[in-house]
Amino acid sequence: MATTWRELYGQVPALLPRIREVRGVLSAFNTNIDAVVKVRGDRIAAIARDLGLDPAALRAEGPRRIEEPGDVVRGLVRCFTGGIAEEWIVQGEEVSRWAGEAFGEGRLQMGGQAGIVANALAYLGVEQVLVHCASLPAIQAGLFQDLPGLLAPRADGTLAPARTVVRDDPPMVHRILEFDRGDVLPLPDGPRNCPKSNRFIATFDPWNLQMRLDPHLVSAAAAIPLELAFLSGYHLIQDPLPDGRPAREAIEASLRVLEAIRRPRPDLLVHLEAASTQDRQVRRLVLEEVVPQVHSLGLNERELIDLLEVLDPDLARRCEGDPHGGTLWEGLRTLQQRTQVPRVQLHFFGCYVTVQDRSFPWSPEATRLGMIVAAALAAGKAACGALETPEARTWAQGRDPGEVGLQEMASLARALGLSGAAATTFLETGILRGPDRDVVAIPTVLVERPVSLVGMGDTISSLSLVGALAARKAGA
């Protein structure tokens, strides 16, 4: 079995150069600055003590947003003890500044799905990548790769390398507090262990919060032969918006931009990347307004559960209680059936699963190869700390996918009603053709000690798509 997957993973080096044949990608809307810092359990405990927070206050199920320093600690403790990732919105700049002082400023890196994906795709050779930035001060521009094909609109609407486009805007800083599996948080009522390396994000970002749009995006996009639009950023919106307008207004404004961009090119493939969205009303709006406009949706298990909380709360609870192959498959299938999105891709620990309509323009083989490219590079990114290094490109070569993924696929196979030879074929090939839709699943290469996990989902989803585009060009 491992031989087949090793052979499939062995196709990655030959496919990577073909990413250069992908001519144009739009990456919008959220670009920001990530200030990434690794926090240790004892530091969290010390800060909680300084703030006078007792264990009960830290466990309290309050609103998932940040109004005062204690909320940062509450969210962080929740993520640390659960080994989960969440992003909460900071309501005032002082608290964000406090968090920088308390936990450290850390290192600055490109943040936001749009920014991360733009850097990744341009680095891998996509000919032209147009990136949207709500705010683009020098410190933000400097986080873009120095590549001639990575473009942003200037203030006069013309295109220039994103790194050189500097506007007089305020910086949007997200504090990424990362923690390690096995670390211990010593609280007065006993130590808590961290079960899984993950992160808590405290976001102060008034411009992306209202999805402030660059007025030159549509004309800039017209100058580029776009094949794919990768969208994200809706998760930052809160209803009502900071200026009191309903969230729906910001969402509809973005959709008008999308419509104008795709009018001259009706074949443009549009992907939406879900992200940790705290505001349930915004999740509902995204499902009602944005999802029907896209061909493809990408998410992790937490984001799947978030959307199911709106669509099917019982199933959301079941997925939460058993976030593994079979149960998640039920969630994924329900999401796809209820929304009718032609392609939905779920990534979770050890495994990616895509369900796509038979009428989707790519074969399941192209989809599988795209997913494998994504898994190989995402592993390299996690192991090396950044995708944009030569080591990250080759890190996964010669490594077998993890046993966890194969077990998840076995659980998925049972949920798909497969047994005997049919189950074996699915485990070996990862493809199950159905009358209306195909299922494609792969086991991923695991990284024992990831240097950093932020931006993994964005990388996985965008590389799966671009990898599949390249595979299709190569005849898969």
Least separation in angstroms between residue 343's CB and ligand GLC is 20
Residue 67: Cβ-neighbour burial (10 angstroms; 0-12, 13-18, 19+)? middle
Residue 116 or 476 having the CB closest to ligand GLC = 116
Residue showing tokens 């915004």? 282
Query: With contact defined as beta carbons under 8 Å apart, do 363 and 98 qualify?
Result: no
Least separation in angstroms between residue 349's CB and ligand GLC is 16
Which residues in this chain contact ligand GLC in the complex, by CB under 6 A?
30, 32, 34, 87, 111-113, 116, 174, 201, 203, 275, 454-455, 457-458
Least separation in angstroms between residue 205's CB and ligand GLC is 7
The Cβ of residue 50 has, within 10 Å, a number of other Cβ atoms equal to 11
Separation in Å, CA 311 to CA 285, 373, 453 = 12, 32, 29
Residue 275 or 378 having the CB closest to ligand GLC = 275
Residue 174 or 393 having the CB closest to ligand GLC = 174
Least separation in angstroms between residue 135's CB and ligand GLC is 13
Residue 324 or 381 having the CB closest to ligand GLC = 381
Residue 38 or 174 having the CB closest to ligand GLC = 174
Least separation in angstroms between residue 381's CB and ligand GLC is 12
Here the tokens at position 340 are 């009718």
Least separation in angstroms between residue 458's CB and ligand GLC is 5
Residue 230 DSSP SS3: strand
Query: With contact defined as beta carbons under 8 Å apart, do 240 and 251 qualify?
Result: no
Identify the CA nearest to 177 among candidates 52, 69, 300. 69
41-50 and 93-103 are packed helices; what angle lies between their axes, rounded to 10 degrees? 130
Alpha helices (H) along 241-362: 247-262, 280-285, 301-311, 313-321, 325-339
Least separation in angstroms between residue 25's CB and ligand GLC is 17
Dist. CA 468–CA 440, nearest whole Å = 12
Dist. CA 386–CA 228, nearest whole Å = 23
Query: With contact defined as beta carbons under 8 Å apart, do 163 and 150 qualify?
Result: yes
Residue 69 or 298 having the CB closest to ligand GLC = 298
Residue 53 or 379 having the CB closest to ligand GLC = 379
Residue 34 or 408 having the CB closest to ligand GLC = 34
Strand ranges (E), 274-339: 296-300
Query: With contact defined as beta carbons under 8 Å apart, do 445 and 376 qualify?
Result: yes
Least separation in angstroms between residue 232's CB and ligand GLC is 7
